[in-house]
Chain A
Amino acid sequence: MTPSNHLATQVDEAAEKAPNGTPDSLRDHTTVLESRDLVVRYGTTEAVKGITLEIPEKMVTAIIGPSGCGKSTFLRTLNRMNDFVPSVSISGHVFYRGTDLYSRDVDPVEARRRIGMVFQKPNPFPKSIFRNVSWGPAINGVPKRQLPDLVEDSLRKAALWDEVKDRLHDSALGLSGGQQQRLCIARSLAMEPEILLMDEPCSALDPVSTGKIEDLMFELKKRYTMVIVTHNMQQAARVSDYTAFLEAGVLVEFDDTDQLFTNPSVRRTEEYVTGRFG
């Protein structure tokens, strides 16, 4: 069997397992990001086995699934953060408003400016709070005199301004974990992205900080499209409009969050969301 045949089989299986690949209600929304038959391999291991998924504009889409199901890998292909993994190879497509992110004439740096990312572990730069937020815009040519306003605006959007306004020039490393994560969100927002990808943004945080970040997501979805990977099903149910359930690199079900959690159409999804495995 040739590799491409093998791949085709995988996609077929995925299609069979996922009768609700595109929920009807999704038709009412513009698709900003779309993966089509996306396959990601690390060396010879397939982490993502042919995922086709449409991300609706100005909605929160949650990706859930057991550990190792490929959800983080999938998320990282959406803004080409997987480029930095040495052994990775990607086939299939990711379309951003009709442009294939993996085509030759796409500049991955430009893609990442439009599609920001917040990571699992807060990763502020070892610089001041101000410089953390202004760093991205500054290297991308925003004039210096516009930076103070941009920093304030971004910190306000990230609900952090009131806590840090008197110590903007202190090191970001002096902030608590939750504050650091909101700073990282502010850092992404300062680039004025269209889409924000979040890779388990609360998994390293305490419940209070998690609550603050979730409130923030409600606020942010008015302006941004968000994709959040989480292993916390309550969180997915609370913050997202749509939910995709992945297992072993395959999209099992994608639907309205309410629908998926209350009346899943695939048995495997039901078993997962009711906590029978995972």
Chain B
Amino acid sequence: MNPNEPKNQLASKTSPWRDRRERGIGWVLLGSASLSVATTIGIVVVLFREAFEFFSKVPVTDFLFGTRWTPLLEPRHFGVLPLLSGTMMIVVGSAVIAIPLGLASAIYLSEYSTPRIRTVLKPVLEILAGIPTVVYGFFALTFVTPLLQAVLPQTNVFNAASASIVVGIMILPMIASLCDDALRAVPDELRQGGYAVGATSMEVTLRIVLPGALSGVLASFVLALSRAIGETMAVTLAAGMTPKLTANYLESIGTMTAYIVQVSLGDTPTGTIEYNTIFAVGALLFLITLVMNVLAHRILQRYREVYE
């Protein structure tokens, strides 16, 4: 070694174990992260393997376009449309309730409320999002349905309207909270520009802030509705388990999720075709929500650079 070479001033003074410990922590963290990814992959693999088994017995076209769903009774029919229409009724019904109310709440929170009201209202809204869905289910059965029956006596005990209302209430905080974030992300300078040319608060809100926040607002709708599609407990309890093609909100229906509950609860033996049906329905459900989540993501990306 050259004696003139300067001494290393930055040599490690701590124990050689430190490096190993740091590396070990890295591995543990990576393991935790991988676990959730692996679980997701596992679920998808199982879902589609069982679904393929189902489709080896029932043609895909019969499943997708059939209008009768009676897999547990003879004669058996495996048309998923009644389940799909049940789910769509809940989505449409809850959207009618949650979108206007959620957007109005968000506009109020972001544009009209004072900081003081906001600090009270926003946490309350988030508590609403934390209520277990089964609670919403019996709230529908014991409160909303009797109320509906008082107004419209022909309402069934299990009905789509009651389920739509509680699912709407359930996804409302999500829409309100995400829209509020989107509206507040619109720079204040734009509002001031609007006021400076003689606009009222309403004109500024509807014609400058809302268009500016459109991507976030639309994405929040899609995300909330994809949650409505997947919602299980409340719709099973309130809307019933009788799949049928109908547009009458006062009748009992059956959604995709309610059917999965029904089969999972009963004593359906593994390997039978009835057993396989829930994987086919589950796979379809998975695909629909996946498409909606991708859609929401795309909407957000597409309009991201709208102001800058």
Contact = CB atoms under 8 A, between A and B. Distances in A.
B198 A188 contact: no
B126 interface: no
Interface in B4-46: none
Contacts, number: 67
A220 B60 CA distance: 72
Contacts of B114: 86
A187 interface: yes
A84 B189 contact: no
B7 to A, nearest CB: 51
B192 A116 contact: no
A173 B115 CA distance: 31
A202 B114 CA distance: 33
Contact of A84 (B190, B192, B193, B200): B192
Interface string A121-149: 10111110000000110011000000000
A105 interface: no
B195 A81 contact: yes
B193 to A, nearest CB: 4
Contacts of B308: 173
Interface string B189-225: 1111111111110010001100110000000000000
A117 B196 CA distance: 6
B100 interface: no
A263 to B, nearest CB: 36
B189 A136 contact: no
Among A112, A117, A119, A125, chain B packs the most CB atoms within 10 A around the CB of: A125
A123 B197 contact: no
A240 B115 CA distance: 40
B198 A119 contact: no
B195 A119 contact: no
A117 B198 CA distance: 10
Given A84-B192, A123-B187, A123-B192, A113 B306 contact: no
A123 B306 contact: no
A113 B197 contact: yes
Interface in A5-44: none
A84 B115 CA distance: 12
Interface residues of A, number: 28
A14 B175 CA distance: 53
Contacts of A121: 189
- How would you classify the secondary structure of chain B's contact residues: helix, strand, loop or mixed? helix
Given A86-B115, A126-B306, A173-B307, A119 B192 contact: yes
A136 B115 contact: no
Contact of B197 (A110, A127, A135, A173): A135
A139 B307 contact: no
Contact of B199 (A86, A109, A190): A109
Nearest to A121: B189
A52 interface: no
Nearest to B212: A126
Contact of A125 (B193, B195, B200): B193
Contacts of A269: none
Given A86-B115, A126-B306, A81 B198 contact: no
A188 to B, nearest CB: 7
Contacts of B190: 123, 125-126
Contacts of A191: 197-198
A250 B213 CA distance: 41
Contacts of B208: 125
A262 to B, nearest CB: 35
A66 B142 CA distance: 67
Nearest to B200: A109
Contacts of A81: 192, 195-196
Given A123-B187, A123-B193, A126-B190, 9 more contacts: A112-B196, A112-B197, A125-B193, A125-B194, A135-B194, A140-B197, A184-B193, A188-B196, A191-B197
11 contacts: A81-B192, A81-B195, A84-B195, A118-B196, A121-B189, A125-B208, A126-B190, A135-B194, A136-B197, A139-B198, A139-B207
Interface of B: 114-115, 187, 189-200, 203, 207-208, 211-212, 306-308
